[in-house]
Chain A
């Protein structure tokens, strides 16, 4: 872990995460080191329970690692307080959840405005422009209940990009989508990552979308390895 590698994107060094205690200890992440460059789309594949979600949680500052260090850009997440972690998530990190996880009460346009309500944002994107960029401007006034899965996911991606994050963490974006929609959504993720220089980590089961990604890693039993196949 050197200062030089921690200037941009995501940097994990020797990260181990243990769950539980005593005899029930589960190793969720086992000495994981990983660097994702700005503009790079990294896919992490692996079976359920391999630690993919834990990787996102640690990278996104939702859990502190048991050991090792986590940097997003020049910010050290390893020992940050809950308050600082919330601020970092707000300003530097975007989350894209399974099936979008949009708020049912908000229209598509308001979903994009929401991140700007949570706290001060330095250089926010224009919500309408971004909605247009993900091809959803014709759905601006619809609430999630009246949107398809693919549409919800596009809006979820746009919402995560509103604050111009350095790091985008994407959790199974295609879990609820058919083949064609899956391709579109991941293509959109790739395009946005490249265009705006966002370091993106996407966790997925879906091997059909991997060709959109710049790099693919395999997670097995908490260990991160080169993907073969």
Chain B
């Protein structure tokens, strides 16, 4: 501490410069973390908030588009109910539709078809729960767009009319689109493209998107083999929602690069500092300073620099982020990812610094003698 602290305050300009770089990376990390949590929520918050543990989709369905492509026979629901570990199985339907309300609000919706009153049907925070055909319960956020209970939502092209009977609590989205819960037959008609008043062919009522499952230690592999489905846990199914994998992968890539950059920058900085101190280090070695003393001194210095500047950066990031959270941007700050980013930033910085300062051990005290100053 003795030397580390005095050198920090003596060369404060240089260290402040380096500190600001780390702090700025910290700011960026917090913002990226908020953006990635926000995007994830925007993509799959509706799935996250379902009491479902797994979905059984059509066999060999394209994993990344399972929610859009899959079609499962309703009989699979009863079959899944008997699989080991399954407590409940329910039919589940998903379809993306463009709608317009009678008050003239354009609304893109992910229509989730469920049987009203079953475990999978959500309870409304405002208005009534879903009860029967021709009704829709919308995500709470839709209220901010000027839609209210009693409004009628008309589906483009086929003209199906749905009456808004209630709203869920807060954000329920799927693939960046708000969710509307409808009863299963209504969903099946919309999915089958049946216009109001038309006679629906029988197959329309035989299909659902997937079987929703809950239970304890469900034997998914056995169920899939016996019933001929492809199942995914809820977390796995996030990847089957539109754009999810691409978005998270992009953000993760950016974050990985930022971590690497910050470790390299910190390493390069301490390398330059160490090279610049070479003569000084030789003097200290001649005076009998051990490698351990010199390494500890340098690493203490890097730790002070990294922890302080990361804390400042994260603080600024949180401040900026809390401003962003209230905007339309998909942005949400969560403690765990922010703390994780901060810790990673410090740890990787320390690794960079450690690699750089190991050359301390190679400084020859002999160079302290003579006129090579």
- A residues neighboring B (CB under 8 Å): 53, 56-57, 60, 62-63, 83, 86-91, 93, 95, 97-99, 101, 103-106, 110, 113-115, 117-119, 143, 171-172, 175
Contacts and interface: CB of A to CB of B under 8 A. Distances in A.
Top 3 closest A-B pairs, CB basis?
A90-B288, A105-B10, A89-B288
B373 A98 contact: yes
17 contacts: A56-B369, A57-B369, A62-B366, A91-B288, A95-B286, A95-B287, A97-B368, A101-B373, A105-B10, A110-B2, A114-B287, A115-B288, A117-B293, A118-B290, A119-B289, A171-B369, A172-B371
B18 to A, nearest CB: 16
A117 B370 CA distance: 25
Contacts of B371: 98, 172, 175
A119 B290 CA distance: 9
A53 B11 contact: no
Which range holds the interface residue count of chain B? 20 to 34
B284 A118 contact: yes
Given A63-B366, A118-B293, A113 B2 contact: yes
Nearest to A162: B287
Contacts of A90: 287-289
Interface in B333-373: 365-366, 368-371, 373
Nearest to A94: B287
B249 interface: no
A87 B292 CA distance: 12
A52 to B, nearest CB: 9
Nearest to A85: B288
A113 B371 CA distance: 25
A115 B2 CA distance: 11
Given A56-B369, A62-B366, A143 B10 contact: yes
B366 to A, nearest CB: 5
Given A62-B366, A86-B290, A103-B280, A117 B373 contact: no
Give the one of A88, A93, A97 with max B CB within 10 A: A97
Nearest to A145: B10
Nearest to A90: B288
Given A86-B288, A89-B288, A114-B3, A103 B283 contact: yes
A110 B6 contact: yes
Interface in B282-302: 283-290, 293
A53 B368 CA distance: 10
A105 B286 contact: no
A53 B288 contact: no
Contacts of A86: 285, 288-290
A101 B290 contact: no
Contacts of B3: 103, 105-106, 114, 117
B247 interface: no
A100 B152 CA distance: 88
B7 interface: yes
B191 interface: no
A97 B287 CA distance: 11
B6 A60 contact: no
Contacts of B370: 53, 98, 171
B62 to A, nearest CB: 63
Nearest to B7: A105
A87 B279 contact: no
A104 B277 CA distance: 10
**Residue of B284, B365, B369 with most chain A CB atoms under a 10 A cut-off:** B369
Contact of A101 (B9, B10, B283, B293): B283
A119 B7 CA distance: 19
Contacts of B286: 60, 62, 89, 95, 97
Given A104-B10, A110-B6, A97 B369 contact: yes
Nearest to B371: A98
A119 B283 CA distance: 15
Given A89-B288, A119-B288, A99 B369 contact: no
Given A57-B366, A97-B283, A101-B368, 5 more contacts: A53-B369, A95-B283, A98-B371, A101-B373, A119-B290
Contacts of A89: 286-288
B287 A118 contact: yes
A172 B10 CA distance: 28
A79 B9 CA distance: 41
A195 B3 CA distance: 31
Interface string B8-20: 0111000000000
Nearest to A99: B373
B11 A105 contact: yes
Nearest to A160: B287
A114 B293 CA distance: 12
Interface in B250-307: 279-280, 283-290, 293
Nearest to A105: B10
Contacts of A118: 284, 287-290, 293
